[in-house]
């Protein structure tokens, strides 16, 4: 029997691709024409529209060409239309290197300031990145290990910073005394805020933590006589090298060690300080993962009801995760305060919480290494594109979307067990729960 | 208070008295009373919707009974279970349970699952974590002991070779047995199993029977199970309780229950007075 | 007394705007269980669309206000819906079925993108619009107090009520509404029964965006000035409103919106302006402590 359709031509790949790209271009036209093409400008006589059809044409053209290209290459029918596309061979090779990457990275971080070609800018960038790495590791305990969705993490960062600033200002305590105090205060707030809300289901917990973050920011902004309001607190004492100030004096750091004074000394000291704090966070987290509390966090994330049936007090377990995460944010906050010498509520907006959460999710699966890489990529990348200030944020948002589409489970999408009998096998991310709060 | 609670006769482990559970207008469990004796496997059976899982959830602290008293002869004396919250049931009363839809920690290995079950003693050994972080205290020793215990159970259920595999990767029958082993790692006096044979093939059912019998005989743990699989129930139970529409309709040795006309009627969906007629039709011996 | 009445009217008006935005959050959450973080920015885009179309009409010589407003409403709804649809297709659909954190981060990225895109395209300065609808009613003058109800406020409340009724009818009576409710309950089963799940979800986003654009137009008319940042602030409040009312419940979203609007207005009027948001957020936290599923939310019981 002859196939009645034998004579009809199969739809050409190019034809399908073209139609799809044309549709995309049409959508782009609808989006761009009003937004890019008609720009509102204020003139002397009021507000008017300026026409910029050139921009619209460019946008539509880019969309059309890009979509056509993608349709003809990555998204050819027949090829798996998947964007999470890393060849398994590459992934396996990376996994084998991963063992060495972490110690190498730590070594690199330790050695970096001492390299001859490192300039101040690089060390400053390093300090910024390491601060976010530490914040990422702290939030990782809450979100990555215990599976609690916290959208207000910046609140604890703020508590740490303001605690240090106020303690130093009112009581004249040194950094080394204020640091643990700030951590304890932040942990304390973690318990206070956590206690009423940790019974809430995941998404409700998210909005309440977001609300708390905003409440703390607004209070800091308006409680003028205590927190300085929008002016913040300035003149925060800089750290000293165990009592030796980093100044030009005869009893300063430089003089004591027989070096010429250089402002770089303090910067390098700050760098090693944040590195030490971050590594402390990492060390504690790794230890805790192997202790019953860490296992309870992960079990909580997997199945809360099963945890309760095994005698685990889930409320206390959640509170511990929350408080510990808060404590590390508190430490990071104190560091931030002393590094800047000045803090204001502007540094503690919701976008920071979102950014830190993005770092944790991008890192993947409660993985310490992944979170660090994500922080380096996002913060480092963000800083390096400083020149393109206008388009920097636009690209940043778009990159966030693209990375999530590419690797929804994050960069490190496997979980490594905390204990093993014979062999430590990496567990695929698809088997691991993300927690329901 | 433990002091006020009257002690149970020594052969009893759990006494359920007048248990009633109402959800709004629906009475799921209606005035049910029964005993669970030490060293026995007790089965709770009945048609679907009879209220079996509800009874379970009351005993294991996931529901608070509307009416009723649940007295357990725990290691520390008689306890009233209806007063305890869910995680305390395991901690204080040493009652462990498994679930109808298996609730393993899928992303954790079989070994890790069994270690989580030993959370309480390990927490104590780690000095509430603080000592553990610092690396002092007896934590390492306690952890090694816990791993040994886990190994023993893994060997008993035949999963020692898969100790490092994620629980979600295990075949269904293995997952069921792992869940039981996990419950046993909490050293319970009473093990409550919710349909442990569901979805098992005949060979796996036999293995399950062997496991449950060995638990009854070796581990000083009484077993209370809900089951639909009659072969399992008849094979291993020492005592059977039948529920229908939230009420208890039969209570006794397996053979007695099997021949009880009320039970047959409930499963066949037949009215009580028609039972004898139906039985003669299908040729069943009526109890005389 | 008249002060109270005045604040009541103001609060209801503000609450209506929040409610319209909150419905978008709640519908999307109900159907795919995700928090659409970019929704507030879709509202902001809606207000910009309204402004641009309005100015374009003025430039083209259409000055008859009711006609212009009608055209603005329709066009702004269409254009904003296109934005809502596109956001879903690009940022959420590829992640559907994946777990819940990935779409959340994607949504945050989208929110950043939209905010900054508008900032770059339209400029960072605020955009004022000369009052379009003026006048109103004053009553109580005879009794010795004065309460003002402006025409804008009346239009906002009336439009909101009309839209609420329309959307309730759509959800309960039409095939689309049924498909939506089916997808909410059990997406796989709905798909097996022939419901076009992709289309239903896209339409839900479109509906949410359309409502947000109406809210954007209202905001523009009421406050007379917009900028690229209003989306974030309104978005968080509207999301709070949706959760307060019980996320997943349409009447809950409206109720939550009204409550947040009233709390904000009354707190600013009787206490301090600075802490009005703190009041709103605190009420949310307190309500959730006692009613963990919100006011009208259905408590989710996990089967043990």
| Unique residue bearing structure tokens 């030009």 | A248
What confidence category does residue A76 fall into, taking pLDDT thresholds of 50, 70 and 90? low
Contact residues on chain B for A313, CB-CB shorter than 8 A = 87
Residues A416 and A329 in one domain: yes
Residues whose CB falls within 8 Å of the CB of residue B154, separated by 6 or more in sequence, listed in order: B110, B111, B114, B160, B163, B181
Size of interface A-B (CB pairs under 8 A): 135
Size of interface A-C (CB pairs under 8 A): 183
Q: Is C303 in Cβ contact with B57 (below 8 Å)?
A: no
Residues B28 and B58 in one domain: yes
pLDDT at B285: 47
Residues B230 and B114 in one domain: no
Contact residues on chain B for C299, CB-CB shorter than 8 A = none
What confidence category does residue B7 fall into, taking pLDDT thresholds of 50, 70 and 90? confident
Q: In CATH, what number is assigned to the domain containing residue B211?
A: 3.40.50.300
| Unique residue bearing structure tokens 């702004």 | C76
Q: Does A45 touch chain C (CB under 8 A)?
A: no
Q: Is A310 in Cβ contact with B163 (below 8 Å)?
A: no
Residues A263 and A209 in one domain: yes
Of C266 and A256, the structure prediction assigns the larger pLDDT to C266
Segment B89-109, tens digit of pLDDT: 888 888 999 998 899 999 999
The mean pLDDT of C281-292, rounded to a whole number, is 85
Beta strands in C217-280 (DSSP E): 225-226
How near does any CA of chain B get to the CA of A288, in Å? Answer: 7
The rounded distance, in Å, linking the Cα atoms of B53 and B196 is: 12
Model confidence at A190: pLDDT above 90: yes
Q: Which strand (E) or helix (H) includes residue B16?
A: strand B12-23
Q: Is A287 in Cβ contact with B103 (below 8 Å)?
A: no
How near does any CA of chain B get to the CA of A105, in Å? Answer: 24
- From the candidates C99, C301, C302, C304, which should be mutated to test the interface with B, based on the most B CB atoms within 10 A? C304
Q: Is A82 helix (H, G, I), strand (E, B) or coil?
A: coil
The predicted complex's ipTM stands at 0.86
The mean pLDDT of C115-133, rounded to a whole number, is 85
Model confidence at B279: pLDDT above 80: no
Nearest partner of A39 among A29, A47, A51, judged by Cα: A51
Nearest partner of A140 among A429, A363, A336, judged by Cα: A363
Q: Which strand (E) or helix (H) includes residue C184?
A: helix C175-185
Model confidence at A84: pLDDT above 70: no
Model confidence at A247: pLDDT above 90: no
Token code pair at residue C236: 């968080």
Contact residues on chain C for B99, CB-CB shorter than 8 A = 304
- From the candidates A199, A292, A318, A328, which should be mutated to test the interface with B, based on the most B CB atoms within 10 A? A292
What per-residue string of b and e applies to A183-200 under the rule 16 or more CB within 10 Å gives b? bebbbbbbeebbeebbeb
Name the DSSP letter for residue A151. Answer: S
Residues A22 and A154 in one domain: no
Contact residues on chain A for B116, CB-CB shorter than 8 A = 292, 295-296, 299, 307, 310, 312
How near does any CA of chain B get to the CA of A311, in Å? Answer: 4
Chain A, residues 280-299, CB within 8 A of chain C, namely: none
- From the candidates C288, C289, C295, C299, which should be mutated to test the interface with A, based on the most A CB atoms within 10 A? C288
Contact residues on chain C for A143, CB-CB shorter than 8 A = 101
The reply to whether A8 falls in a domain is: no
pLDDT at B286: 45
pLDDT at B1: 46
Contact residues on chain C for B62, CB-CB shorter than 8 A = 304
What confidence category does residue C81 fall into, taking pLDDT thresholds of 50, 70 and 90? very high
Q: How many domains does chain B have?
A: 2
Q: Hey, which residues does A38 pair with through a beta bridge? A: A51
The reply to whether A81 falls in a domain is: no
Q: Does A155 touch chain C (CB under 8 A)?
A: no
Residues B70 and B199 in one domain: yes
Residues B143 and B263 in one domain: no
| Unique residue bearing structure tokens 């309480």 | B120
Q: Is A358 in Cβ contact with C105 (below 8 Å)?
A: yes
The rounded distance, in Å, linking the Cα atoms of C51 and C59 is: 12
Question: Which chains, if any, share at least 3 CB pairs under 8 A with chain A?
Answer: B, C
Nearest partner of C34 among C122, C90, C86, C108, judged by Cα: C108
The mean pLDDT of C283-289, rounded to a whole number, is 85
The reply to whether B206 falls in a domain is: yes
DSSP string spanning A325-343? HHHHHHHHHHHHHHHHSEE
The reply to whether C285 falls in a domain is: no
Model confidence at A269: pLDDT above 70: yes
The rounded distance, in Å, linking the Cα atoms of A401 and A428 is: 23
Model confidence at A351: pLDDT above 90: no
Residues A63 and A100 in one domain: no
Residues whose CB falls within 8 Å of the CB of residue A22, separated by 6 or more in sequence, listed in order: A64
- From the candidates C98, C109, C234, C300, which should be mutated to test the interface with A, based on the most A CB atoms within 10 A? C109
The rounded distance, in Å, linking the Cα atoms of C227 and A277 is: 40
The rounded distance, in Å, linking the Cα atoms of B172 and B71 is: 34
The mean pLDDT of C182-203, rounded to a whole number, is 84
Which residue in the set A302, A309, A431 is minimally distant from B169, CB to CB? A431
The rounded distance, in Å, linking the Cα atoms of C89 and C203 is: 11
Neighbour count for residue A159 (Cβ, 10 Å): 27
Residues A111 and A57 in one domain: no
Contact residues on chain A for B62, CB-CB shorter than 8 A = 305, 308
**A187-201, B265-279, C278-292: the lowest-pLDDT one:** B265-279
What confidence category does residue A10 fall into, taking pLDDT thresholds of 50, 70 and 90? low
Model confidence at A354: pLDDT above 70: yes
The reply to whether A170 falls in a domain is: yes
Residues whose CB falls within 8 Å of the CB of residue A12, separated by 6 or more in sequence, listed in order: none
The reply to whether B100 falls in a domain is: no
Q: Is C127 in Cβ contact with A211 (below 8 Å)?
A: no
Nearest partner of A140 among A346, A347, A311, A282, judged by Cα: A282
Q: Is B243 helix (H, G, I), strand (E, B) or coil?
A: strand
Q: Is the separation of the CB atoms in A236 and A337 below 8 Å?
A: yes
Q: Does B218 touch chain C (CB under 8 A)?
A: no
Residues B138 and B280 in one domain: no
Which residue in the set B62, B88, B108 is minimally distant from A298, CB to CB? B108
Of C145 and B211, the structure prediction assigns the larger pLDDT to B211
Model confidence at A4: pLDDT above 60: no
Residues whose CB falls within 8 Å of the CB of residue A50, separated by 6 or more in sequence, listed in order: A38, A39, A40, A41
Q: Does A362 touch chain C (CB under 8 A)?
A: yes
Q: Among the three residues B186, B216, B234, which one is the final residue of a domain in this structure?
A: B186
Model confidence at B275: pLDDT above 70: no
Q: Does A117 touch chain B (CB under 8 A)?
A: no
pLDDT at B160: 92
Model confidence at A30: pLDDT above 70: yes
| Unique residue bearing structure tokens 């929110």 | C111
The rounded distance, in Å, linking the Cα atoms of C244 and C256 is: 5
The rounded distance, in Å, linking the Cα atoms of C49 and A30 is: 11
Contact residues on chain B for C304, CB-CB shorter than 8 A = 53, 57, 62, 99
Model confidence at A51: pLDDT above 90: no
**A10-19, A403-412, B94-103: the lowest-pLDDT one:** A10-19
Chain B, residues 51-70, CB within 8 A of chain C, namely: 53, 57, 62
Q: Is the separation of the CB atoms in C55 and C246 below 8 Å?
A: no
The mean pLDDT of A196-216, rounded to a whole number, is 85
The rounded distance, in Å, linking the Cα atoms of A350 and B281 is: 75
Q: Among the three residues B186, B216, B244, which one is the final residue of a domain in this structure?
A: B186
Neighbour count for residue B267 (Cβ, 10 Å): 13
The mean pLDDT of A266-270, rounded to a whole number, is 85
Segment B170-197, tens digit of pLDDT: 999 999 999 999 999 999 999 999 999 9
Model confidence at C142: pLDDT above 80: no
Q: Is C49 in Cβ contact with A39 (below 8 Å)?
A: no
The mean pLDDT of C42-71, rounded to a whole number, is 88
Q: Hey, which residues does B12 pair with through a beta bridge? A: B37
- What percent of chain C stands above pLDDT 70? 96
The reply to whether C276 falls in a domain is: no
Nearest CA in chain C to A215: C278
How near does any CA of chain C get to the CA of A394, in Å? Answer: 5
Segment A285-328, tens digit of pLDDT: 998 998 999 999 999 999 999 999 999 999 999 999 999 999 99
The reply to whether B126 falls in a domain is: yes
Model confidence at C41: pLDDT above 90: yes
Which residue in the set A314, A415, A422 is minimally distant from B107, CB to CB? A415
Residues B262 and B161 in one domain: no
Residues B138 and B24 in one domain: no
pLDDT at B115: 94
Residues whose CB falls within 8 Å of the CB of residue A214, separated by 6 or more in sequence, listed in order: A152, A350, C236, C277, C278, C281
Name the DSSP letter for residue B189. Answer: S
The rounded distance, in Å, linking the Cα atoms of B16 and B34 is: 5
The mean pLDDT of B44-57, rounded to a whole number, is 87
The reply to whether B99 falls in a domain is: no
Beta strands in A324-418 (DSSP E): 342-343, 414-415
The mean pLDDT of A392-405, rounded to a whole number, is 88
Q: Rounded mean pLDDT of chain C?
A: 87
Nearest CA in chain A to B170: A431
Residues A376 and A227 in one domain: yes
Contact residues on chain A for B151, CB-CB shorter than 8 A = 421
pLDDT at A88: 58
The reply to whether C1 falls in a domain is: no
Beta strands in chain C (DSSP E): 127-128, 136-139, 147-150, 225-226
Q: Which strand (E) or helix (H) includes residue A251?
A: none
Q: Is the separation of the CB atoms in B154 and B163 below 8 Å?
A: yes
Chain A, residues 139-198, CB within 8 A of chain B, namely: none
Of B61 and C63, the structure prediction assigns the larger pLDDT to B61
Contact residues on chain C for A42, CB-CB shorter than 8 A = 125, 127-128
Contact residues on chain A for C82, CB-CB shorter than 8 A = 27, 30-31
Chain C, residues 148-167, CB within 8 A of chain A, namely: none
What per-residue string of b and e applies to B212-233 under the rule 16 or more CB within 10 Å gives b? beebbeeeebbbbbbbebeebb
Euclidean distance between the first and the last CA atom of chain C, given in angstroms as a whole number: 53
Model confidence at A216: pLDDT above 60: yes
Q: Which strand (E) or helix (H) includes residue C99?
A: none
Q: How far is CA B159 from CA A258, A426, C177, C243, in A?
A: 65, 19, 50, 46
pLDDT at A83: 47
Cβ neighbourhood burial of A302 (10 Å; 0-12, 13-18, 19+): buried
For B227, the domain range is 1-94+187-288
The mean pLDDT of A326-335, rounded to a whole number, is 95
pLDDT at C292: 79
Q: How far is CA A3 from CA A7, A12, B44, C301, in A?
A: 8, 19, 63, 56
The reply to whether C275 falls in a domain is: no
Chain C, residues 194-233, CB within 8 A of chain A, namely: 232
Contact residues on chain B for C99, CB-CB shorter than 8 A = none
Residues A67 and A108 in one domain: no
Q: How many domains does chain A have?
A: 2
For C176, the domain range is 15-229
Which residue in the set B107, B129, B164 is minimally distant from A421, CB to CB? B164
Residues B73 and B56 in one domain: yes
Q: How many domains does chain C have?
A: 1
For A29, the domain range is 13-72
Model confidence at A335: pLDDT above 90: yes
What confidence category does residue C276 fall into, taking pLDDT thresholds of 50, 70 and 90? confident
Q: How far is CA C126 from CA A1, C7, C225, in A?
A: 72, 26, 7
pLDDT at C143: 66
Token code pair at residue B52: 């079996």
Neighbour count for residue A67 (Cβ, 10 Å): 21
The mean pLDDT of A272-296, rounded to a whole number, is 91
Residues A277 and A132 in one domain: yes
DSSP string spanning A181-250? HHHHHHHHHHHHHHHHHTTS-HHHHHHHHHHHHHHHHHHHHH-HHHH-GGG-EE-PPPP-BTTB-SSSST
């Amino acid at each position: 029997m002859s196939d009645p359709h034998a004579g009809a031509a199969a739809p050409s790949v190019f034809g399908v691709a073209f139609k799809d790209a044309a549709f995309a271009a049409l959508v782009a036209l609808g989006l761009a024409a009003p937004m890019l093409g008609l720009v509102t400008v204020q003139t002397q006589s009021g507000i008017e529209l300026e026409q910029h059809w050139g921009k619209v044409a460019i946008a539509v053209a880019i969309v059309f060409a890009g979509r056509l290209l993608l349709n003809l290459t990555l998204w050819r029918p027949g090829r798996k239309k998947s964007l999470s596309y890393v060849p398994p061979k590459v992934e396996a090779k990376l996994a084998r290197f991963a063992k060495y990457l972490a110690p190498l990275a730590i070594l690199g971080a330790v050695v970096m300031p001492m390299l001859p070609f490192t300039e101040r800018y690089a060390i400053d960038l390093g300090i910024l990145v390491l601060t976010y790495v530490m914040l990422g590791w702290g939030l990782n305990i809450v979100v990555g290990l215990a599976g609690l969705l916290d959208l207000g993490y910046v609140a604890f960062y703020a508590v740490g910073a303001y605690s240090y600033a106020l303690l130093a200002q009112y009581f004249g305590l040194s950094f080394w005394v204020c640091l643990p105090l700030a951590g304890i205060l932040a942990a304390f707030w973690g318990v206070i805020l956590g206690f009423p809300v940790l019974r809430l289901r995941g998404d409700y917990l998210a909005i309440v933590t977001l609300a708390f973050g905003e409440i703390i920011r607004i209070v800091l902004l308006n409680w003028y006589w205590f927190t300085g309001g929008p002016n913040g607190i300035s003149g925060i004492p800089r750290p000293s090298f165990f009592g030796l100030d980093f100044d030009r004096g005869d009893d300063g750091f430089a003089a004591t060690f027989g070096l010429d004074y250089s402002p770089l000394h303090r910067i390098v000291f700050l760098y090693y300080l944040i590195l030490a704090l971050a590594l402390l966070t990492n060390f504690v987290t790794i230890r805790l993962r192997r202790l019953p509390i860490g296992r309870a966090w992960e079990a909580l994330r997997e199945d809360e009801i099963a945890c309760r049936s095994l005698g685990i007090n889930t409320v206390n377990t959640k509170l511990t995760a929350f408080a510990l995460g808060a404590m590390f944010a508190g430490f990071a906050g104190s560091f931030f305060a002393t590094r800047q010498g000045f803090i204001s509520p502007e540094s503690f907006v919701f976008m920071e919480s979102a950014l830190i959460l993005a770092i944790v999710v991008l890192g993947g699966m409660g993985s310490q290494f992944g979170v660090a890489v994500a922080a380096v990529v996002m913060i480092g990348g963000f800083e390096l594109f400083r020149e393109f200030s206008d388009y920097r944020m636009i690209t940043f948002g778009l990159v966030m979307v693209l990375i999530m589409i590419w690797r929804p489970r994050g960069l490190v999408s496997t979980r490594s067990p905390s204990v093993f009998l014979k062999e430590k096998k990496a567990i695929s991310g698809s088997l691991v729960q993300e927690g329901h709060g | 208070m433990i002091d006020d609670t009257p002690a149970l006769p020594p052969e009893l482990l759990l006494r359920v008295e007048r248990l009633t559970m109402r959800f709004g207008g629906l009475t799921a469990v209606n005035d049910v009373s029964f005993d669970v004796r030490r060293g026995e496997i007790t089965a709770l059976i009945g048609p679907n919707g009879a209220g079996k899982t509800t009874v379970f959830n009351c005993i294991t602290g996931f529901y608070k009974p509307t009416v009723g008293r649940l007295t357990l002869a725990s290691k520390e004396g008689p306890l009233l279970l209806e007063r305890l919250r869910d995680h305390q049931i395991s901690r204080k009363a040493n009652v462990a349970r498994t679930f109808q839809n298996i609730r393993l920690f899928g992303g954790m290995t079989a070994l890790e699952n069994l270690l989580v079950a030993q959370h309480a003693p390990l927490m104590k050994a780690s000095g509430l974590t603080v000592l553990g972080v610092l690396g002092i205290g007896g934590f390492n020793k306690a952890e090694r002991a816990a791993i040994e215990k886990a190994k023993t159970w893994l060997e008993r259920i035949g999963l020692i070779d898969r100790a490092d595999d994620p629980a979600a990767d295990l075949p269904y029958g293995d997952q069921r047995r792992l869940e039981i082993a996990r419950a046993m790692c909490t050293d319970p006096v009473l093990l409550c199993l919710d349909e442990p044979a569901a979805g098992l093939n005949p060979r796996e059912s036999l293995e399950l029977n062997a496991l449950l019998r060995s638990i009854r005989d070796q581990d000083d743990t009484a077993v209370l199970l809900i089951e639909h699989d009659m072969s399992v129930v008849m094979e291993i139970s020492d005592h059977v309780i039948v529920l229908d529409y939230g009420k208890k309709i039969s209570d006794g040795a397996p053979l007695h229950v099997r021949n009880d006309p009320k039970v047959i009627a409930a499963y066949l969906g037949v009215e009580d007075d028609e039972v004898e007629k139906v039985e003669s039709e299908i040729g069943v011996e009526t109890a005389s | 007394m008249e002060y109270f009445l005045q604040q009541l009217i103001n609060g209801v008006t503000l609450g209506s705007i929040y409610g319209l935005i909150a419905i978008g959050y709640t519908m999307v959450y109900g159907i795919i269980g995700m928090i659409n973080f970019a929704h507030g920015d879709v509202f902001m885009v809606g207000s910009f669309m309204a402004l641009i179309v309005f100015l374009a009409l003025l430039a083209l010589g259409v000055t008859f206000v009711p006609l212009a407003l009608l055209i603005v409403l329709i066009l702004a709804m269409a254009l904003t819906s296109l934005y809502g649809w596109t956001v879903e297709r690009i940022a959420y659909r590829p992640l559907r079925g994946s777990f819940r954190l990935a779409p959340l981060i994607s949504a945050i990225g989208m929110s950043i993108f939209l905010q900054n895109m508008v900032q770059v395209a339209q400029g960072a300065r605020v955009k004022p619009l000369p009052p379009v609808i003026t006048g109103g009613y004053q009553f109580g003058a005879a009794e010795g107090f004065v309460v003002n109800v402006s025409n804008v406020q009346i239009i906002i409340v009336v439009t909101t009520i009309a839209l609420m009724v329309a959307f309730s009818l759509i959800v309960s009576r039409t095939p689309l509404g049924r498909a939506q409710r089916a997808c909410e309950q059990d997406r796989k089963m709905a798909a097996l029964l022939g419901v076009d799940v992709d289309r239903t979800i896209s339409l839900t986003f479109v509906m949410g965006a359309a409502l947000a654009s109406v809210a954007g137009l209202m905001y523009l008319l009421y406050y007379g000035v917009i900028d690229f940042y209003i989306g974030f602030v309104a978005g968080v409040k509207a999301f709070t409103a949706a959760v307060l009312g019980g996320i997943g419940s349409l009447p809950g979203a409206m109720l939550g919106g009204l409550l947040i609007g009233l709390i904000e207005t009354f707190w600013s009027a009787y206490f301090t302006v600075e802490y009005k948001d703190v009041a709103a957020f605190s009420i949310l936290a307190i309500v959730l402590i006692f009613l963990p599923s919100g006011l009208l939310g259905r408590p989710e019981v996990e089967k043990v």
